[in-house]
Amino acid sequence: MKSEWIVIKEGSVPLRCWWSKPSQGRDEIGEGPNRVALVLPEIFGVNNWVRSVADRLATRGIPALAMPLFSRSAPELELGYSEDNLIEGRRHKDSTSMEQILTDTYTTICWLNKQLDQPQITVIGFCFGGHAALITATMTEVSETFNFYGAGVSKTRPGGGAPSLELLPQVSGRLTCLCGTADPLIPTSDRQAIQAALRMQDPDEERLRYVEIIGADHGFMCEERESFAAEASALGWRLLLESLER
């Protein structure tokens, strides 16, 4: 595996990203189409844990690019998980719009297409990155999306407007939304709304899937947070890798 910081300059703002790629190619995922992962971070930026997600994917033979979501207000944001860091991250989240998210993800997707031969792109997002991942799922270039505990999708949209959940009719690829029942940021009413909206678009759940994890709190995937849950994280990783290695 080789990992490094790179700056993508082709878009409206420079994007400082973490690029992880297998050193020996895709030997662990066998034959089939090129696959690449685009990782969208929590409100804490492309920090140590987000980079570790990209690195972990690369060790499985899957190139992964972790990109920032706040390049206009905090292009090199790397925060921990203290209360002060939470306040700082939310400040940048509140100044971010759906248009900015789509513009920047399109820039990174164009860059990925130049690095690989017609890759199938899976977008993976956590927390606010999960919300952003649902938005990017509307892009025809995205073949699959994993939204890990993306709060607010049933009630809000970055920058204002109708709730992001109303974008589901524009999603042409596969989408998995994972929520924990102990997540205070995604209460029961929100989880029910997400599940109902997904089923309305895909009653057989062959393309749009809702996964609810009993007892899991917000941030259950992240080993550096107090809310980390080993069993829930293992399930999340299993579902993700099964999809990427399908």
Q: Which of 177, 179, 218, 222 is catalytic?
A: 218
> 183, 190, 217, 222: which is the annotated catalytic residue?
183
Encoding tokens for residue 219? 């941030």
Q: Which of 169, 170, 244, 182 is CA-nearest to residue 219?
A: 182
| DSSP H or E segment with residue 91 | helix 83-93
Determine whether 179 is an active site residue. Answer: no
Catalytic one of 127, 177, 179, 222: 127
Reading the block at residue 232, the tokens are 């829930």
Q: Which residues pair with 120 in a beta bridge?
A: 35
CB atoms within 10 A of CB 79: 18
Decide if 217 is catalytic: no
Q: Which 8-state DSSP code applies to residue 216?
A: P
Q: Note if 127 is an active site residue.
A: yes
Radius of gyration of the chain (CA): 17
* E strand or H helix that includes residue 18: strand 15-21
Active site residues: 127, 183, 218
